[in-house]
Structure 1
Amino acid sequence: MSSIKPSLAKGTRDFSPQEMVKRNYIFDTIKTVFKKFGYAEIQTPAMENLSTLTGKYGDEGDKLIFKILNSGDYLSKANAGYLAELNSNALISSISEKALRYDLTVPFARYVVMHQNDITLPFKRFQVQPVWRADRPQKGRYREFYQCDVDVVGSESLLNEAEFVLIYQEGLTNLGMKDFTIKINNRKILSGIAEIIGKPELIVDMTVAIDKLDKIGLDGVTKELLERGFTDSDIELLKPVILLEGTNTEKLARLKNVLAASAVGLKGIAELETVFGYVKALLVNSSLKQPDLELDITLARGLNYYTGCIFEVKTNEAKMGSICGGGRYDDLTGMFGLKGLTGVGISFGADRIYDVLEELNLFPESTASGTKVLISNFDATAELYALPLLQQLREVGVAAELYPSSAKLKKQMSYADDKAIPYVVLIGGDEMESGLLTLKNMQSGDQQKLTAGSIVNLLSK
């Protein structure tokens, strides 16, 4: 039998022990913040019924769902008519009933509906799990990646949005990031702008063009808006929006004038004022650094999806797109027959955050190594002598290894170096006789003679 060349499925990755320590550091740091704000963890299965996922992400999204073939002789159960017609979409539903989850939001909606009698509303949950998309793999885009979501469903209170600002601020600060901007907008403001110019269908085109103001200037934006179907009179109305500057308070005051005739637009402004007020009140006696919270009128994440506040976070320390996002959505559970539940949620882009922390060298040194101390193994007598010490170290929480077989010292030291183990305990004949063991610091090369008890005390600090 010929051997198979090992390879990874396209768009997937292995994670080394060192990478896993760093990834878990990110997840654990963020989870700790979620829990402080009253969110509890749930998990949902990797696979869902195909019918649960289909039709929730638009036509393009549906194409990117990984389908799972039915087990057994699935073709014998396939619809012969579809096979003859080569109608692949119709055929899929007869040979595939399940699929890998595409995101964490739709499974969350299903969970809420299925468990509506067991959960207390408002229901606050977080979820850190992988999702799968049959996307074209490229740099920074994978077919399997982790999402780190936190949502509250069943509460209209804008205090939730304000707390999400603090969750972003605390979570990213705790990861060592110092300079990042939390951008906020409101879908109702964008709807209001579309309403006063009478072109709701061009709202995305408008935000895409305005977003380029820094790069192409007012003339460039005007030219692009005209190309996208706006008129000169539309652009006159839009100018105060395009040139929106100043503090958040000043921006909101200008928007109030522009949107004076739009009830929905004014509601969006009022919602943002409430969120800013809550954030200010929450931080009155706080030691947390004031967030760099910026009203950005060009922010238009997933417009069909969001109905209220929209969030995005960008780091100013590294070249990277947004590292977090989210917003308010109405009727999330309506797709499963439970109407009228509003929700708001945000997510941390764990993979992008990893790249930023790596680039800025922000991972703590403790994430570099798993094992803290290696005990040498020269022969059967030394091995037996070392076993009680090995167990003592582990019982006080020190990650310790005994080299698994007697080998030359050079080989054992290379093992410690390769694994970045900071300490080695050397136990030879002299050490066993005197009871003073040699503790070697692998970084400095310093050695000291200590009793087993002193080594345990020193390394457990």
Structure 2
Amino acid sequence: MAAKPSIPKGTRDFSPVEMAKRNYIFNTIRDVYHLYGFQQIETPSMEMLSTLMGKYGDEGDKLLFKIQNSGDYFSGITDEELLSRNAAKLASKFCEKGLRYDLTVPFARYVVMHRDEITFPFKRYQIQPVWRADRPQKGRYREFYQCDADVVGSDSLLNEVELMQIVDTVFSRFNIRVCIKINNRKILSGIAEIIGESDKIVDITVAIDKLDKIGLDNVNAELKEKGISDEAIAKLQPIILLCGTNAEKLATLKNVLSASEVGLKGVEESEFILNTLETMGLKNEIELDLTLARGLNYYTGAIFEVKALDVQIGSITGGGRYDNLTGVFGMAGVSGVGISFGADRIFDVLNQLELYPKEAVNGTELLFINFGEKEAAYSMGILAKVRAANIRAEIFPDAAKMKKQMSYANAKNIPFVAIVGENEMNEGKVMLKNMETGEQNLVSADELIAIVKK
């Protein structure tokens, strides 16, 4: 007996209804991106590992899916190397390519390769899948879509302001209540400086970024494990747990970071973004959160994360400024800032809260019943008019039993059925049935269009 087929853990199939929901998400985000002047690009699913490695920190590098070279990948490898069973070293010999981990690093590579064709500042968006060799769990997948928007070639903080407006607009359209969290890597660098641990900034940010997930005690244990002194950890506590309004937090930080030039610069940037957004009338809450670190090494300025307020799930959007990203590809001095909507988590949130509008998930609006050759030919003429009126319609392809055709309409949640027999053809009309109410009316093609469109 053939083995039952399966798919890899952390991946999913999507039914037609689920795809309708996903397209609603993608289209909503795409429409808002267009409102703000962003243009779409695409990049390959796989990149050279030399492009991807070293851009996400050690933890990120471990989560890269590597693609085995085709052909004789044993050539050039000694027996000694094979017998060493050193997985990382062998992978570097076996694999030249990998599946992209996110859309930002491939975008930086794209900018460098196409610099002569691009007009700066360049506002691009990208909606494509990414892959991570992560341990699958609720809300975390190995294959998932990101919906990124980035601006490169501009240092202006107005870009950060507009990206937060985009976030607010998108989630308002979805009717999802969110808290937009903001921080700045310069503030975190300033904190590391004043506690005397500047060289441990990456270890500090990676640890405190986990505060929500593992709690304060475990964060402190991880900091100690990384060689950060007890004195420095003690100094860090009141800063991590800082509370109050955004204005109160900024005022405290100005005082705490008074001896750190880089820290004060981060406070100044955050203050500009928050004060400007306050005049914009955002529908969602925005909060300065010093525990937000965004564990990726390439962020250098403002960082963002979005949490859904009515569902227990990880962040559903994130991003930040990355002044040095294109520099690693030989193009220095190009600043960038971007956000990424986690479409798969948004899909789960909309499902849990049942927030999909009815029209977003409905497919076919009208089905013509097929009674035979003559009736089908008559129906096809009306069907052409119906589709020209932008109504999603179909005809059952076979002259099957009425019960089978009506079951098909019910299974697909088709709201209207058109029945055409000899009487209807003689009168040049159609019997239109409302599947929800059961009401039937003999109507002309124009009347049918008006009823279905209504």
Match of 2:439 in 1: 446
Match of 1:203 in 2: 204
SS of the equivalent of 1:157 reads coil
Q: Distance in 2 between matches of 1:350 and 1:126?
A: 14
Counterpart AA for 1:403: F
Compared CA separation, residues 309 and 405, structure 1 to 2 (3 A): same
Q: Distance in 2 between matches of 1:434 and 1:46?
A: 57
Match of 1:12 in 2: 11
Q: Distance in 2 between matches of 1:141 and 1:238?
A: 30
Match of 1:248 in 2: 246
Equivalence map 1:74-93=2 (5 Å) = 74-75=72-73, 77-81=75-79, 82-83=81-82, 85-93=84-92
Compared CA separation, residues 329 and 366, structure 1 to 2 (3 A): same
Match of 1:429 in 2: 422
Q: Distance in 2 between matches of 1:224 and 1:232?
A: 13
Compared CA separation, residues 86 and 401, structure 1 to 2 (3 A): same
Counterpart AA for 1:254: T
SS of the equivalent of 1:97 reads strand
Match of 2:23 in 1: 24
Compared CA separation, residues 386 and 167, structure 1 to 2 (3 A): same
Counterpart AA for 2:72: Y
Match of 2:192 in 1: 194
Match of 2:361 in 1: 368
Q: Is the Cα contact below 8 Å between 1:325 and 1:346 reproduced in 2?
A: yes
Tell me the alpha carbon deviations over residues 199-248 of structure 1, each in whole angstroms, 9 at most, x when there is no partner.
Answer: 232634873697699x88xxx7998799775546874x556535533221
Match of 2:60 in 1: 61
Q: Distance in 2 between matches of 1:395 and 1:212?
A: 53
Q: Which runs of 5+ in 1 are unaligned?
A: none
Match of 1:411 in 2: 404
Q: Distance in 2 between matches of 1:210 and 1:398?
A: 51
Q: Is the Cα contact below 8 Å between 1:209 and 1:225 reproduced in 2?
A: no
Equivalence map 1:217-296=2 (5 Å) = 231=230, 235=234, 238=236, 241-242=239-240, 244-281=242-279, 283=280, 289-296=282-289
Equivalence map 1:30-429=2 (5 Å) = 30-71=29-70, 73-75=71-73, 77-81=75-79, 82-83=81-82, 85-177=84-176, 179-200=177-198, 201=200, 203-204=204-205, 207=208, 231=230, 235=234, 238=236, 241-242=239-240, 244-281=242-279, 283=280, 289-302=282-295, 304-429=297-422
TM superposition shift of 1:97: 2.7
Counterpart AA for 1:357: L
Q: Is the Cα contact below 8 Å between 1:42 and 1:125 reproduced in 2?
A: yes
TM superposition shift of 1:160: 0.7
Counterpart AA for 2:69: N
Tell me the alpha carbon deviations over residues 297-340 of structure 1, each in whole angstroms, 9 at most, x when there is no partner.
Answer: 11111263321111111111111221111111121111211112
Number of corresponding residues = 448
Compared CA separation, residues 163 and 421, structure 1 to 2 (3 A): same
Tell me the alpha carbon deviations over residues 68-98 of structure 1, each in whole angstroms, 9 at most, x when there is no partner.
Answer: 2333x32463534544554544443444332
Q: Which runs of 5+ in 2 are unaligned?
A: none
Counterpart AA for 2:52: L
Q: Distance in 2 between matches of 1:289 and 1:84?
A: 60
When the two structures are superposed, what TM-score results if normalisation uses the length of structure 1? 0.89
Q: Is the Cα contact below 8 Å between 2:56 and 2:297 reproduced in 1?
A: no
Q: Is the Cα contact below 8 Å between 1:78 and 1:91 reproduced in 2?
A: no
Q: Distance in 2 between matches of 1:190 and 1:433?
A: 79
Most deviating of 106-115 and 92-101: 92-101
Indicate the RMSD between aligned Cα atoms, in angstroms: 2.7
Compared CA separation, residues 210 and 427, structure 1 to 2 (3 A): closer
